[in-house]
Amino acid sequence: MCGIVGYVGENNATPFLLKGLKRLEYRGYDSSGIAVLGEEIGCVKEVGKIEKLEEEVSKNELKGSIGIGHSRWATHGGVTEENAHPHWDCEKNIFVVHNGIVENYKEIKNKLIKRGHKFVSDTDTEVIAHLIEHFFKGDLESAVKKALRIIKGTYGLVVIAKKDPGKMVAARMFSPLVISVNDKGSFVASDPSAIITHSKKMIFLEDGDVAVIQKDNFVISDIKEKIKEREEVTLDWDIEDSQKNGYPHFMIKEIAEQPESITNSMRGRIVLEEGSAKLGGLELVEEELKNTKKISIIACGTSYYAGITGKYLIEEFSGVPVEVSLASEFRYRKKVIEKDETFIFISQSGETADTLAALQEVKKKDVLTLGIVNAVGSSIARETDAGVYNHAGPEIGVASTKAFTSQVVVLSLIALFLGRQRNLSLEEGKEVANTLLSLPSLVSEILKDDSEIKEVAEKYKDFKNFFFIGRRYGYPASLEGSLKLKEISYIHSEGYPAGELKHGPIALIDESFPTVAICLSNSVYEKMVSNVEEIKARNGRVIVLANRDKKDVKELTEDVIYLPTAPEFVSPVLAVVCFQLFSYYVSVSLGRDPDKPRNLAKSVTVE
């Protein structure tokens, strides 16, 4: 997996492919390559940065009006030029780029080898090229469809053939692809950001779609030849929204954008005089939500931690019991689904493979499904019964920042909406609404002067292990803080419920194992202070996150990061913004690239 771009038109494909791959760099990759069809198909592949690919392409005459490109994040086979995409068949007629995993590739490969096919890579993708070659009789579309009937697994793939020129064939199963056609030609990509400079109008392929794309048109069908109509979507953001705008990294830019992204997540959705939230995406299912007896939240990674925060919010405001599950585990549980249960699926990209698979399993049970996604037109947005968009704008940094805080804000709005449907009073609703409206300015206070956070980050950057601990709303915040640090600095850290520390993990504490403790002005403040004392009694170092009204924490430790004082239910957002900054400054001090952490990809579209 990682990034795909393709072009067919009147112009030379090479510049379009290279620019598209550059715009997909934020997703993470370890190698890249392009194949361009002119009189012959020329292909160049390189390990490392796109710049190396550009240098090598400049030495070759890659000219033609059709081409495909790929940036790879290794799944099958090591990081080598041979394993980089595109892959080709024995005759160098069929060229393929692919995101996903071919689960039965060994079986297919063994059969093809017996028929005389010779493989040059260790990847699962190469079998696709050879399998299409096996079926190819001059019609690329037909050969691709026959191959897809045999392939098991996930794919977003684009194929070109020297012996059937003038077209690309694209197919999707659990891995996103989007098409755009304009006066420059036709484009296909795994992410709109690769091609949005050419047009904001996109057609998102759905699972089972096979598209034949020519220079000025496309036709979508399935492998049984049934024609499919897909709605064109106009995106509401520009490529400029994803540029650094003077910031050294996308991550710090996106941290700084959070007052705006939080505002956008709430815009037009808070009805202050009613102490409630108006969520257009939920209007058609209001009655079902009023009658729901249980909510299950399904997500992965950062979105899962937002989901845990949502559990506290929904239960506190509405009294509806909430269960939160990791999508990767939920898929393999024998889940007992209750009558009148509602499922919420959270994903920044709307394409997270495990979350999407869990959604498709739940849909078989005839229950209400909701989505919280940031990407318009994404699979989860289309396949859920209803949902709420984050409106956080494009997030380029691999480690999520504004997507997490916007997810928590959306969950807060849903909690307020559900609460006002039930027992939350008008005055209580107004208090919640006013607090949410104040959140952008509270985040701005943190961002206005982060010198305190930067100083602590510099002091602790050389430690090899960390604990992040909290209680209640502080617990999911500690999980997200720990994840940010390990993602972009490669320092080992653990997020832990503070009350559980003494049930084993406190054995790890010594002067070389610092703890970040969330000690905010709330119902568990005294309990958190006791946890800090326990750690200090074992010679542990402690960084305390505290509200400005708790000056006495200076007696606990010299390392204190102060937050604006605010109601407890918004504390996860404020704490996590601090943790984002702390992790960013540690990463930069250690010489890491916070935008492109090793081994990670932005959108996880494989299991």
**Residues 159-212 pLDDT 10s:** 999 999 999 999 998 888 999 998 899 999 998 889 988 888 999 999 899 999
Asked whether residue 509 is domain-assigned, the answer is: yes
Task: For 48, list phi and psi in degrees, rounded to 5.
Answer: 105, -155
Residue pair 157/98 in contact by the 8 Å Cβ criterion: yes
pLDDT value at residue 84: 95
Spatial contact of 117 and 133, defined as CB atoms under 8 Å apart: yes
Residue 238: pLDDT over 70: no
Whether residues 392 and 374 share a domain: the answer is yes
Question: How far is it, in rounded angstroms, from Cα 470 to Cα 332?
Answer: 30
pLDDT tens per residue across span 49-78:
899 999 999 988 789 999 999 999 777 788
**413 and 459: one domain?**
no
Verify whether residue 578 is a known catalytic residue. Answer: no
Q: Check 2, 43, 519, 578 and give the catalytic one.
A: 2
**Does the pLDDT of residue 565 top 80, yes or no?**
yes
Residue 376: its pLDDT value, please? 73
- pLDDT confidence of residue 350: 87
Q: Work out the pLDDT band at 268, boundaries 50, 70, 90.
A: confident
What pLDDT score was predicted for residue 242? 58
Report the alpha-carbon distance of residue 88 to residue 70 in Å, rounded.
13
Whether residues 533 and 407 share a domain: the answer is no
Residue 367 lies in a domain: yes
Q: Are 396 and 349 in contact (CB under 8 A)?
A: no
| Annotation marks residue 602 as catalytic | yes
Which pLDDT tens digit goes with each residue over 16-48?
A: 999 999 888 766 678 999 999 998 899 999 998
CA geometry: angle at 96 spanning 95 and 100, to 5°? 170
Query: Are both 361 and 252 inside the same structural domain?
Result: yes
Say whether both 218 and 202 belong to one domain. yes
pLDDT grade for 604, boundaries at 50, 70 and 90: low
Is 138 part of any domain?
yes
CA distances from 130 to 5, 515, 543, 592 (A): 21, 53, 57, 40
pLDDT digits (tens, 9 = 90+) for 243-259: 676 788 989 999 999 99
CA–CA separation, 11 and 184 (whole Å) = 7
Q: Which domain holds residue 540?
A: 449-595
Res. 606: pLDDT tops 70: no
User: What number of other Cβ atoms are within 10 A of residue 541's Cβ?
Assistant: 21
Burial bucket for residue 498 (CB in 10 Å: 0-12, 13-18, 19+):
buried
HSE value, Cβ hemisphere, 13 Å, CA-based, for 185: 22
- Point out the domain boundary residue: 391, 423, 448: 448
**Higher model confidence: residue 60 or residue 289?**
289
The domain total for the chain is 3
pLDDT digits (tens, 9 = 90+) for 84-112: 999 999 999 999 999 988 989 999 999 99
Note the pLDDT tens digit of each residue in 569-602. 999 999 999 999 999 999 999 999 998 888 776 5
298 and 271 in a single domain? The answer is: yes
Q: Is residue 303 located within the same domain as residue 207? A: no
pLDDT tens digits, residue range 500-545?
A: 988 998 999 999 999 999 998 888 889 999 999 999 989 999 999 9
Residue 573, domain member (yes or no): yes
What would the mean pLDDT of 361-374 be, rounded to a whole number? Answer: 92
* 270 shares its domain with 320: yes
Same domain, 329 and 357: yes
pLDDT at residue 213, rounded to an integer? 97
Instruction: Tell me if 429 is assigned to some domain.
Output: yes
User: Which of 448, 482, 503 finishes a domain?
Assistant: 448
Residue 607, CA distances (Å) to 41, 55, 585 in order: 32, 34, 31
DSSP state of 391: -
Q: Edge-to-edge strand order for the sheet containing 560-563?
A: 492-497, 465-470, 515-519, 542-547, 560-563
> Per-residue pLDDT for 116 more than 80?
yes
DSSP code of residue 502? G
Which string of b and e fits 227-247 if b means at least 16 CB within 10 Å?
eeebeebebeeebeebeeeee
**How many CB atoms sit inside 10 A of residue 272's CB?**
12
CA angle 4, 90, 66 (to 5 degrees): 40
Token duo for residue 582: 């702390």
How far apart CA 141 and CA 158 sit, in angstroms, is 11
pLDDT score, position 47: 92
Is residue 278 classed as helix, strand or coil in its secondary structure?
coil
Evaluate if residue 415 carries a pLDDT over 90: yes
**Least confident among 352-366, 527-541, 544-558:** 544-558
What pLDDT is attached to residue 24? 84
Q: What does the block give as tokens for 105?
A: 């590739």
Name the CA radius of gyration of the chain, rounded.
Answer: 25
> Which CATH number characterizes residue 564's domain?
3.40.50.10490
330-349, pLDDT tens digit by residue? 988 877 888 899 999 999 88
- Local confidence band at 120 (pLDDT 50, 70, 90 cut-offs): very high
What span, in angstroms and rounded, lies between the C-alpha atoms of 475 and 314?
A: 16
Question: d(Cα 147, Cα 93) in Å, to the nearest integer?
Answer: 16
Q: Please say whether the beta carbons of 18 and 57 come within 8 A.
A: yes
Residues 490 and 519: beta-carbon distance below 8 Å: no
Average pLDDT for residues 225-239, to the nearest whole number?
84
Classify 429 in phi/psi space as left (phi over 0), alpha (psi -120 to 50) or beta: alpha
CA-nearest of 589, 593, 501 to 538 is: 501
Q: Above 80 in pLDDT, residue 134?
A: yes
What pLDDT is recorded for position 596? 85
Is residue 383 pLDDT above 60, yes or no? Answer: yes
153 contacts 128 by C-beta, under 8 angstroms: no
Residue whose tokens read 């940065």: 49
Query: Could you give the CA distance from residue 289 to residue 271 in angstroms, rounded to a whole number?
Result: 19
End-to-end Cα spacing for the chain = 11
DSSP, collapsed to helix, strand or coil, labels residue 528 as: helix
Whether 219 and 253 map to the same domain: the answer is: no
Whole-number average pLDDT of the chain? 91
CB 211 within 8 A of CB 188: yes
- Is residue 606 situated within a structural domain? no
Q: What is the CATH number of the domain that holds 142?
A: 3.60.20.10
Same domain for 477 and 335: no
Q: Does 206 map to a domain?
A: yes
- C-alpha distances (whole Å) from 414 to each of 297, 433, 587, 598 are 12, 12, 34, 35
Element spanning 214, H or E: strand 210-214
Say how far apart CA 540 and CA 498 lie, in whole Å. Answer: 14
Q: Which of 433, 448, 463 is the last residue of a domain?
A: 448
Shared domain for 216 and 248, answered yes or no, is no
Pick from 25-39, 185-199, 289-303, 554-568: least confident: 25-39
Out of 145, 215, 486, 602, the active site residue is: 602
Of residues 418 and 523, the one with the higher pLDDT is: 418
Token pair of 471, please? 């209680």
How far is it between the farthest Cα atoms of the chain?
Answer: 79
Q: How far is CA 164 from the centre of its chain?
A: 36
Q: State the Cα–Cα distance between residues 166 and 84, nearest whole angstrom.
A: 24
Asked if residues 523 and 516 have their Cβ atoms less than 8 Å apart, the reply is no
Asked whether residue 212 is assigned to any structural domain, the reply reads yes
